[in-house]
A and B are shown apart, each in its own frame.
Chain A
Amino acid sequence: GESVGLHLPTLSVQEGDNSIINCAYSNSASDYFIWYKQESGKGPQFIIDIRSNMDKRQGQRVTVLLNKTVKHLSLQIAATQPGDSAVYFCAENPAYYNAGNNRKLIWGLGTSLAVNP
């Protein structure tokens, strides 16, 4: 079946270190892969996306890598700060040719990132 899973349910890092959050996916027919951040008591917030024809995309302190050969997605956070503590979700957007107009995001289960001062 189709799934978006996570290698690590929890990740603990020291403030200032780099964080890497991983995600495995099984649906090859997705045109975008996405990362969301959910802070405690809030709704998920879009961080960054990457189109399926790209390998890497950088944002502000974040980098997303896509390895289609092994169906792996990762989010790298540089110089992790206490404000980065949250649950991070990966998601994939099925391509139009595969799902038509009724495309629905496929969500991962989330990784909890804890930043130690």
Chain B
Amino acid sequence: DADVTQTPRNRITKTGKRIMLECSQTKGHDRMYWYRQDPGLGLRLIYYSFDVKDINKGEISDGYSVSRQAQAKFSLSLESAIPNQTALYFCATSDPRRQWEQYFGPGTRLTVT
């Protein structure tokens, strides 16, 4: 079984809809991350969490919110989706002692029409 899972894998939604992307991990890591990937722009950090009570904004947090329900679960929400949020979204985890070695999920491809 995969260490980091994301659901759904693909999602098409309409402008203005609320959508939640979910991430679960079995690595026992405290740190979890949400990234967005767009062609030519690499990976950009949306939010990150060092533990259940510690959540921080990344470089592009506007329009997004997160919830860390448990050590193993970190969800990303788009309160009112807009077309320029169409992208590939990745969840990742890391051990705090080696925070640069991150384990990524398979990604969610989100299309906002």
Chain A interface (Cβ < 8 Å from any Cβ of B): 32, 34, 41-46, 49, 89, 91, 93, 101-105, 107-110
Contacts and interface: CB of A to CB of B under 8 A. Distances in A.
Contacts of A45: 104
Contacts of A109: 40-42
B101 A104 contact: no
A108 B106 contact: no
A43 B106 contact: yes
Nearest to A104: B45
Contacts of A41: 106-107
Interface residues of B, number: 22
A49, A105, A107, most chain B CB atoms within 10 A = A105
Contacts of A110: 42
A57 to B, nearest CB: 14
Contact of A43 (B44, B90, B100, B101): B90
Nearest to A30: B100
B104 A49 contact: no
A93 to B, nearest CB: 4
B35 to A, nearest CB: 9
B102 interface: yes
Contacts of A105: 45, 99-100, 102
Interface in B80-102: 90, 92, 99-102
Contacts of A93: 99-100
A19 to B, nearest CB: 20
